[in-house]
């Protein structure tokens, strides 16, 4: 897929991985719809960065609800002709032992990490151009247990599985569906996991990765761009983990 002038929605793009993906898409001349749930100032900063390279708009919406997904579609239609790319990045990570995870926390993680992907993919998928692409942001926690992340890891494993089913369902319209699965990324969530471990960042990276390196958000964005452009890849999960799974 040639990304020039394509319209991309990136959920949860106020900071971290979502911001990096939004800027990378803009650098490839995509028009970008940025989404935040609450923190408008973060979304506005992402928008400023996007507009250095391309057009963008900011939509405040809770994408774990169908109403939130619909509001993104409405704003997209006001500003652009189509939606070609959906990056389901919105997510929540809470470190909590399994036996301490109450129903409220479990439901919150399911709504944010699973239902947002289902609802946005259904609602936006209905209006997406044939030949478009959907990219889901999962995690290596869905492939290998990580300390204190049993419920989070369960939700991310669900996304990896769901990605394959979505690839089947969208194939008739030539819409490709893939996922990326990073390990610990240098973001607010990733940094908190390092802090919880009690290790310095360099020692944490040496302990848990082969390359001794924490992932940068831009590296995840590079993987998303690769999948967006690759017309013959669908139903796959691309791991970006510095060798975490082999440790």
Whether residue 5 is predicted with pLDDT greater than 90 in this model: the reply is yes
**Confidence at 99, pLDDT banded by 50, 70, 90:** very high
pLDDT at 6: 98
Give the domain ranges of the chain. 7-184+216-231
Domain covering 7-184+216-231 assigned CATH 3.40.50.720 in the classification? yes
Q: Note whether 107 and 38 are within 8 A (CB).
A: no
pLDDT at 147: 85
CA terminus-to-terminus distance, the chain: 35
Give the β-pairing of 56-60 and 31-36: parallel
Helix (H) or strand (E) holding 242: none
Both tokens assigned to 33: 């719809």
Q: What is the pLDDT of residues 63-92, one digit of tens each?
A: 999 999 999 999 999 999 999 999 999 999
Q: What is the pLDDT of residues 118-170, one digit of tens each?
A: 999 999 999 999 999 999 999 999 999 998 999 999 999 999 999 999 999 99
Q: Note whether 122 and 84 are within 8 A (CB).
A: no
Whether residue 18 is predicted with pLDDT greater than 90 in this model: the reply is yes
Looking at 155-159, 193-197, 240-244, which range is the least confident one?
193-197
Quick check: pTM over 0.85? yes
pLDDT at 178: 99
């Amino acid at each position: 897929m040639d990304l020039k002038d394509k319209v991309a929605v990136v959920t949860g793009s106020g900071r971290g991985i979502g911001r990096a993906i939004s800027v990378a898409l803009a650098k490839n001349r995509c028009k970008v719809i940025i989404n935040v749930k609450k923190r408008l100032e973060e979304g506005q900063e992402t928008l400023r960065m996007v507009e250095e390279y391309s057009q963008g708009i900011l939509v405040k919406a809770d994408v774990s609800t169908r109403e939130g997904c619909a509001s993104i579609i409405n704003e997209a239609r006001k500003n652009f002709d189509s939606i070609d790319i959906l990056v389901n990045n919105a997510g929540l990570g809470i470190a909590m032992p399994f036996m301490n995870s109450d129903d409220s926390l479990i439901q919150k993680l399911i709504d944010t990490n699973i239902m947002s992907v289902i609802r946005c993919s259904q609602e936006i998928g209905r209006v997406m151009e044939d030949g478009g692409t959907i990219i889901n942001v999962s995690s290596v926690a869905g492939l290998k247990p990580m300390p204190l992340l049993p419920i989070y890891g369960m939700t991310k494993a669900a996304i990896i599985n769901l990605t394959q089913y979505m690839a089947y369902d969208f194939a008739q319209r030539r819409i490709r569906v893939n996922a990326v699965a990073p390990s610990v990324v240098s973001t607010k969530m990733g940094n908190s996991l390092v802090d919880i471990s009690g290790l310095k960042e360099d020692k944490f990276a040496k302990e848990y990765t082969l390359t001794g390196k924490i992932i940068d958000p831009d590296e995840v964005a590079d993987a998303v761009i690769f999948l967006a452009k690759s017309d013959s890849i669908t139903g796959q999960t691309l791991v970006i983990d510095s060798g975490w799974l082999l440790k």
